[in-house]
Structure formats: C-alpha cells, structure tokens
Structure 1
Amino acid sequence: MTDAGLPPGWEVRHSNSKNLPYYFNQSQQMSRWEPPPGTDTEKLKTYMAENHSAPEIRPEAGGPNGNAANNGKIRASHLLVKHRDSRRPSSWRESEIKRTKEEAMSIILGHEARIRNGQSSLGQLAVSESDCSSARKMGDLGFFGRGDMQKEFEEAAFQLKPGEVSHVVETASGLHLIERLE
C-alpha cells in the first residue's frame, strides 16, 4: 500500500454516510475531515488520487433525487482553490492554507487555462487540485436547487448550460471553477 504521508497513528477511512474519505487516529479515537498537522501533503495527494478517487463521473449515478429535472435542481462539479482568507482555510490537501487570495487566483487561472485549451477536464484536475472534499468524486457536488449553495456559486451554476465551465467564481469558501453536468 502506498504511504499516505500521515503522521504516526493516523489512517484514511471512508465515511459511508457522506461517501467521502476522512482521517482517523485509533489510539486517540479522533476523526477529522482535514489532514492532521504534520501530514506530508504531497504524499497524501498522490495516495488519495490513487486510492480514493472516483474513476469517472457517471450520469446514471444520479443524486438522492434521481433525475433532478422534475424539481428544478441541477448537477454540477467544481474545482475549489482556497486561500488564507477563505471561510475555512484548510482542506484534505493542507491542514492550514497560507496562500494569499492573489496566489489562489493565479493557481485557479492556470487550471482554467488547462481546461479551456483541452489539456485536462475540470474533473481530472479536481481529483488532485481541488481544496473541496468533493475532489474524491471529480468535484461532483450532486444535484442541488436554488438556496442550497452560496449565492454567488448558485447564480453562476444556474447560468451555465450542461457541459459549460464557468470563469472564476468567488465565494466565502474561496475561488471556484464550476462545470454544469446536468
């Protein structure tokens, strides 16, 4: 098994209720969504991409509502780049995010360029580069309706047609690229 880069005593487990990976320390009986302090984030990134990623986004996987068209919901994926002024400046990739908003903007604009020139898809990049735990599902957020997401995110997502990718959208969580799936 590949080294996950976690401090001694920590392991990656999978939450059945949220269908996402989390971090657990058996001896301390402690669990958390973000990597524990002392994690080698480069090793963790590789480990998570190899062991905890959805192989693809499957439209037939649907959401809790099956086909969302019947109740005004859409399905989207996103790639999130957080910065130190984000609402929660930590992620599965880094226990403490220290980059500035300007540095985050530079990073996400690079991701956007790779998506727009066809080098990568948003889902492929999200697996290793998104600061959201949805990275494990290629950024897929499932179905959501109006009022379920932050206002700026929702407005941008609902303006997209299926298959379209937004430009950078700023919310309290950080900087997003959004792809409408359905």
Structure 2
Amino acid sequence: MATDVKQATGLPSGWEVRHSNSKNLPYYFNPTTKESRWEPPAGTDSETLKHYMGTYHSSANLHPDGAGSQEGKIRASHLLVKHRDSRRPSSWRQAQITRSKDEAMGIILGHEARIRSGQTSLGDLATTESDCSSSRKRGDLGFFGKGDMQKEFEDAAFALKPGEVSGVVETASGLHLIER
C-alpha cells in the first residue's frame, strides 16, 4: 500500500497531503510522527507530486464553475489557547507551550469576559492572543463544512447563529472561542 501511495502522490512512505482550513492550502503530514510541513518532505518524487497536486489540489478542479462552492458550509473565526496537553503544544507565539489546561482555561475565560463586555472583539484579540496561525486573519478560518473540523469544534460552530460567540469549546487542539 505504501508503494501505491508513493506512486500516486510521489511522497515518501508515511506522508500524506492534507488541507489547511486556516490557510486554505494543501500541506504535508506524517500521521506516525505527527510532523506537518508546507514543503514536500525529503525523498519526494517532484514530478509525480506535481501531477497529483494538479489533479487533486488545484482550485480549478474544486468547483470549476464556482457554483455551489459554499453550499452547506459556514464561515467562522476562532481564538485558540493551547496548553501542554494540546495535540501540538507549540504555536507561532511560543515554541513550547508549558501552561496547564487550568491556566489555559483562566486565560480564555478572561478573553471571553473582555469580548462579552464589549471591551474588545474576538478578531482583535485573536490577532495577538490566539495560538493558531489564523491569528494573522483575525482568527478567520474561512468556509468549512461538516466533517472538515474536529467534531467538538464543528458541533459548536454549526450551533451558532451568525454574529454569535460560543462559550469555551475544548478540542484536542486546545481551548477555543468561536464566532460565526
């Protein structure tokens, strides 16, 4: 099977192509080592990968006529506070996150209080306080559908009305506030 994957994608054994919802770009992921990267890993067959990406990850192939591209999808922003038990305890803000889950909860509850009081917005806070790379876009994750996000995140996001902000949502990534 690993040979079939290499033949199809050109990637070394153990690597796969995934899609980043925050950047709306494909990336490379190794589920065994949990390593993710924007550049193809060493040992990639560039020509095979180029063909694979052109066939399966080209925006022209997603919705050639543009019709229905947002059908069944919602758009949301979030603010993420990671802790040492998060799936990937590092971020653009901090190479190694060492705070406990309780400390992270205290931080995110403080953010929620500031948002609910009208002192600031989720987007303004996300820019400087979110542990997600979507912070560059004020926490905007773009449009996503059912099955695109972690279940807890998706359930909370789809339950919100446009303009609403969730309470704290816990996922394997950390603690989130979500705004639809």
Please indicate, yes or no, whether the TM-score normalized by the shorter chain is above 0.5: yes
* Structure 2 residue runs without a partner (length 5+): 1-22, 26-36, 39-61
Q: Which residue of 1 aligns with 2:76?
A: 76
Larger Rg: 2
User: Whole-Å Cα distance in 1 between the matches of residues 69 and 164 of structure 2?
Assistant: 17
Instruction: Determine if contact 1:126/1:135 at 8 Å carries over to the other structure.
Output: yes
Q: Which residue of 2 aligns with 1:25?
A: none
Q: Which residue of 1 aligns with 2:148?
A: 148
User: Whole-Å Cα distance in 2 between the matches of residues 105 and 81 of structure 1?
Assistant: 8
User: Whole-Å Cα distance in 2 between the matches of residues 19 and 155 of structure 1?
Assistant: 21
Instruction: Determine if contact 1:78/1:126 at 8 Å carries over to the other structure.
Output: yes
User: Whole-Å Cα distance in 2 between the matches of residues 109 and 146 of structure 1?
Assistant: 27
Instruction: Determine if contact 2:70/2:143 at 8 Å carries over to the other structure.
Output: no
Q: What is the aligned-residue RMSD (CA, Å)?
A: 2.3
Q: Which residue of 2 aligns with 1:138?
A: 138
1:101 deviates by 0.0
Secondary structure at 1:135 match in 2: helix
1:71 deviates by 1.1
Instruction: Determine if contact 1:68/1:74 at 8 Å carries over to the other structure.
Output: no
Task: Give the stretch that moved more between structures: 68-77 or 139-148.
Answer: 68-77
The share of aligned pairs that are identical, in percent, is 80
Q: Which residue of 1 aligns with 2:110?
A: 110
Number of aligned positions between the proteins:
122
Deviation string 1:12-60 (CA, Å, 9 cap, x unpaired) is xxxxxx489xxxxxxxxxxx78xxxxxxxxxxxxxxxxxxxxxxxxxxx
Secondary structure at 1:90 match in 2: coil
Secondary structure at 1:71 match in 2: coil
Secondary structure at 2:163 match in 1: coil
1:67 deviates by 9.0
Q: Which residue of 2 aligns with 1:129?
A: 129
Secondary structure at 2:113 match in 1: helix
Relative distance call for 1:118 and 1:147 in structure 2 (3 A) is same
Matches within 5 A, 1:1-182: 18=23, 70-180=70-180
1:148 deviates by 0.1
User: Whole-Å Cα distance in 1 between the matches of residues 69 and 152 of structure 2?
Assistant: 22
Please identify runs of 4+ aligned residues in structure 1 that moved more than 6 A: 64-69
Secondary structure at 2:177 match in 1: strand
Relative distance call for 1:95 and 1:146 in structure 2 (3 A) is same
Deviation string 1:89-119 (CA, Å, 9 cap, x unpaired) is 0000000000000000000000000000000
Secondary structure at 1:123 match in 2: helix
* Length-normalised TM-score, structure 1: 0.63
* Structure 1 residue runs without a partner (length 5+): 1-17, 21-31, 34-63
1:138 deviates by 0.1
1:76 deviates by 0.1
Relative distance call for 1:70 and 1:141 in structure 2 (3 A) is closer
Relative distance call for 1:154 and 1:127 in structure 2 (3 A) is same
